[in-house]
Structure 1
Amino acid sequence: MPRKGENIYRRKDGRWEGRYVKGRSKEGKALYGYVYGKTYAAVKKKRLERLTEVPKSGSILRKADLTDEDYHFSVLSDLWLESIRPHIKQSTYNKYQNLIHSYIISELNEIQVSELTAEVLQSKCNHLLECGGKKGCGLSTKTVGDVLSLVRRLLSYAASIGYPVNCSGKEFSIKQSSKEMCILCRSEQETLCRYLLQHRDERNIGIFLCLFCWAAYRRIMCIKVG
């Protein structure tokens, strides 16, 4: 059986086999090419290399050169990552790869790119906010915002190489929750200052100096206003 969303199979002889469309006959019939390897990862890489050769030979990846399984986010994300890899830092590449495999593929790979709507995408983002993460306690709005931003880039890339897309991901946004500012009363400020002076280190002295400078600034402003 193939991995979901990919034309990669385990053969009876133990090897892995990957299938891809290498061209079309005069009648429009798909002509398939095959790659083989000892591991799933090796075949996936070879198949991806064959797919990425198509955009190099023309302006876009033709819709006719894609099979149904190529329209899933696992294949799309691999193509996109390979296209941007020469232009970004390794740390950025690792971040994108982690977000894609941790959240995007797990949430969206059951859905073909052409079937994704703004309503479905928003529902998936809400699910990540409520139940995402290893513990299922929900992800931060910052993380889900990063995931949504990445999906938008994937959808934009999909359209540029001939994938049919139904939404851009820009139909909604993730509202960032702002933390409520805590204002200390005079007695609490005095308690904090005593603690900082009693436990002197570079960090605490720095905090104390910031508080002192802020207090001095407020007094100066009050004098000017008065």
Structure 2
Amino acid sequence: MAKRRPSGDGMVRKRDDGRWEGRIVVGRKENGDSIFRYVYAPTQKELSTKLRQHIDSYQGADLTEQSRMTLSEWLNQWLENMADTLRPNTLRNYRSYIENHIRPNLGDKQLARITPKDVQRFYEKLSDCLASSTVRRIHTTLHGTLKAAQQAHL
């Protein structure tokens, strides 16, 4: 009889092609079905290491179906929600930063797949051609949008 893995430790199996596959549950859909993330490795030991890293990185996250939303889609939704609470000039500035800088560079990425490295590269690219005060304002805008996405479990 095979040993059972502890609860919350993911699922591990050997595939027909010889690779090892790991799967963890990172959230639930509206109908109650699980949302999975998959990890692959050539050996079971490597898979266990990768799986542990994924479990740690998703700790405390409770993703929803909207987690596949791109940053661009989220920015539209966020601006809509903020339109009533922001002053007109602030809203205009946020729209400008989003349309001219954030959307062209990071807009196509899924929210759940944006990494700190992506954001760091974005800031480095901006600092080559913009003043540091402008980069700081763009950072404030992006930080606010990502924080709101995190609070919405996206």
After TM superposition, the score normalised by the length of structure 2 is 0.57
Task: State, as a whole percentage, how many aligned pairs show the same letter.
Answer: 18
How far, CA to CA, are the matches of 1:157 and 1:67 in structure 2?
A: 13
Aligned to 1:99: 97
Query: How far is the alpha carbon of 1:111 from its aligned partner?
Result: 2.0
Do the aligned partners of 2:67 and 2:111 also contact (CA within 8 Å) in 1?
Answer: no
How far, CA to CA, are the matches of 1:156 and 1:162 in structure 2?
A: 10
Choose 1 or 2 for highest CA Rg: 1
After TM superposition, the score normalised by the length of structure 1 is 0.40
Aligned to 1:144: 135
Alignment CA distance shift 1:126-1:97 (3 Å): same
Q: How many residues align?
A: 99
CA displacement 1:127-173 (0-9 Å, x = unmatched): 1121xxxxxxx11111111111111101110011111xxxxxxxxxx
Map of 1:1-226 to 2, 5 A cutoff?
24-25=30-31, 28=33, 63-66=63-66, 68=68, 70=69, 72-130=70-128, 138-163=129-154
Aligned to 1:216: none
Alignment CA distance shift 1:144-1:154 (3 Å): same
How far, CA to CA, are the matches of 1:111 and 1:64 in structure 2?
A: 17
Between 1 and 2, higher relative CO (CA 8 Å, sep ≥ 6) is seen in 2
How far, CA to CA, are the matches of 1:110 and 1:74 in structure 2?
A: 6
Structure 1: unaligned runs, 5 residues or longer: 1-22, 30-61, 131-137, 164-226
Structure 2: unaligned runs, 5 residues or longer: 1-28, 35-61
Query: How far is the alpha carbon of 1:64 from its aligned partner?
Result: 3.3
Moved over 2 A (4+): 62-65
Query: How far is the alpha carbon of 1:65 from its aligned partner?
Result: 3.6
Alignment CA distance shift 1:117-1:63 (3 Å): closer
